[in-house]
Chains A and B, each alone.
Chain A
Amino acid sequence: MVNLENYEEYMMMYADGELNEAETKALMDFVDANPELAKELEAYSATKLVPDTTMVYANKDQLMKAPPAGGRTIGMRTWWMYAAAAAVLLFAVTIFRQGGDTADSPAVASNTPAVQQPVSTQPTQTPVTDNKTEKDSNREELHSNPVSPVTHENNIASGESKVESRKSIESNRKPKTIIEEQPKEEIRIAKEEKITPAPQQPAYKPENEPVQQVLAQQTEKPNKVEQISKPTEETNNEQPKQRRRLLDMLPISRNKREGASMIASAVTKRVENVTDNLKDTDIKFKIGNKEIFVVKL
């Protein structure tokens, strides 16, 4: 292995620490066999440098980095994990909320008949129907030509593509407000939004039963609106509560209830001062920065 031609290389590799055990033994045996080469091996071994450990870099703190102020440092790998977890959570919340909104639809449909029933048979169950006038003399009831469900249903079935809407008119303490139902009269709402179809409010019972009040929904197209109002002696404090309860019962999606409530309030305020027959009166009312005109055709 080791010979006179390659012994020097072996010696340098020995000084480098690159020889294995067998190679080292072979080199030692060769040097033993050639004692004149021992000094050369010693010289190569002496060329190995030894570091001076007293030489140090002063003020190593200046090289170090401090953590960011006000928070802990998050490694990039960990940051990505947190970002992925946040994205998954946000996606799940979004799906959940969409499922919750769609769940309103069946409730809307299912609530519809329930709304009708109290009106037709037990109007007293509804908050609106519980209203009673203080003075019978001031109370004028809606008579005889109530809008029958059949009539309105026919209107619905007549092929109107427009979505039916309900409009609620709440009277205040003054029982003067009377709105007669006229099956032939059409009330068009200038500003409308599309709503889910809902059956017309059924007929009310005259005299003995308070008139059902329903809330109008915004529709995109002019719709036939049935107005039913009842003079009430409700206090101002009770009206908002009753309105909210009624709103909850109606098949209106949550995001549209506020708009429906605004319309109801605006109409209520506007018509309370109408002394003439409303069917002959053109009225307009404002909702926010928008105006709605109710005119006779």
Chain B
Amino acid sequence: MELKDYNNCVKEWADALFRFACKCTGNEEDARDVVQNSFEVLWQKRENVAPAKAKAFLFQVAYNQSVDNYRKQSRMSYKEEIDDNRSITPGQNDLKRVLERALTKLDEQSRALVLLKDYEGYNYEEIGQITGLNESQVKVYLHRARKVLKEYLVSVENVI
């Protein structure tokens, strides 16, 4: 990977990586650190990473850092962070807000799996390569997360 490829990766994936890190950590400042560290690691290993594999590489690094970051640090509750109004535009129905709140009910790994699936559109196999899980494990963990989200949505009155 050359310099121009690296800079193209910044332009294409920095925002998506930031969103992923924000939802995983629940903290914007931590999310910026995750993004910066992820790109720094990519730069250090740019000779061994093909441009086509850069996105998966970035999310793999961000996943590892986000999950470790959430586990190591005792921070203010994720719930408070997730209630940032910036994430919900005015006029939007309650569904999205409830979903954001439901996301906080998941553990860090399940949350990351759902984000990788819904935000980035990775399939089970790709998610397994990013997270280090096998395809069956990804499917099981993801379905558990789906069930938790569904039951939370159903439990909230007037949402569904």
Contact = CB atoms under 8 A, between A and B. Distances in A.
Interface of A: 9, 12, 15-18, 39-40, 42-44, 46-57, 60, 62-65, 67, 73, 75-76
A54 B86 contact: yes
Contact of A9 (B96, B143, B160): B143
Contacts of A67: 3
B87 A43 contact: no
Interface string B86-126: 11010000011001001100000000001101110101100
A43 B11 contact: no
26 contacts: A9-B143, A12-B147, A16-B124, A17-B121, A18-B123, A43-B160, A44-B146, A44-B150, A46-B95, A47-B102, A47-B153, A50-B96, A50-B118, A55-B87, A56-B15, A56-B18, A57-B15, A57-B17, A57-B18, A60-B14, A63-B14, A63-B39, A64-B6, A65-B7, A65-B43, A75-B2
Contact of A57 (B32, B143, B149): B32
A73 B87 CA distance: 40
Contacts of B103: 49
Given A56-B15, A63-B35, A73 B142 contact: no
B143 A55 contact: no
Given A18-B123, A65-B3, A67-B3, A55 B19 contact: yes
**Mostly helix, strand, loop or mixed at chain B's interface?**
helix
B2 to A, nearest CB: 5
Given A49-B118, A73-B2, A75-B2, A39 B16 contact: no
Interface string B9-28: 01100111111001000000
Nearest to A72: B3
**Mostly helix, strand, loop or mixed at chain A's interface?**
loop
B60 interface: no
Interface string B131-160: 000000000001100110110011000001
B36 interface: yes
Nearest to B89: A54
A55 B22 contact: yes
A67 B35 CA distance: 21
Nearest to B39: A63
A9 B102 CA distance: 20
Nearest to B151: A43
B30 to A, nearest CB: 13
Contacts of A60: 10-11, 14-15
B16 A51 contact: yes
A49 B119 contact: yes
A48 B118 contact: yes
Nearest to A49: B118
Given A18-B124, A43-B160, A63-B36, A52 B146 contact: no
A76 B119 contact: no
B143 A63 contact: no
A51 B119 contact: yes
Given A9-B143, A16-B142, A63-B39, A47 B150 contact: yes
A50 B95 CA distance: 11
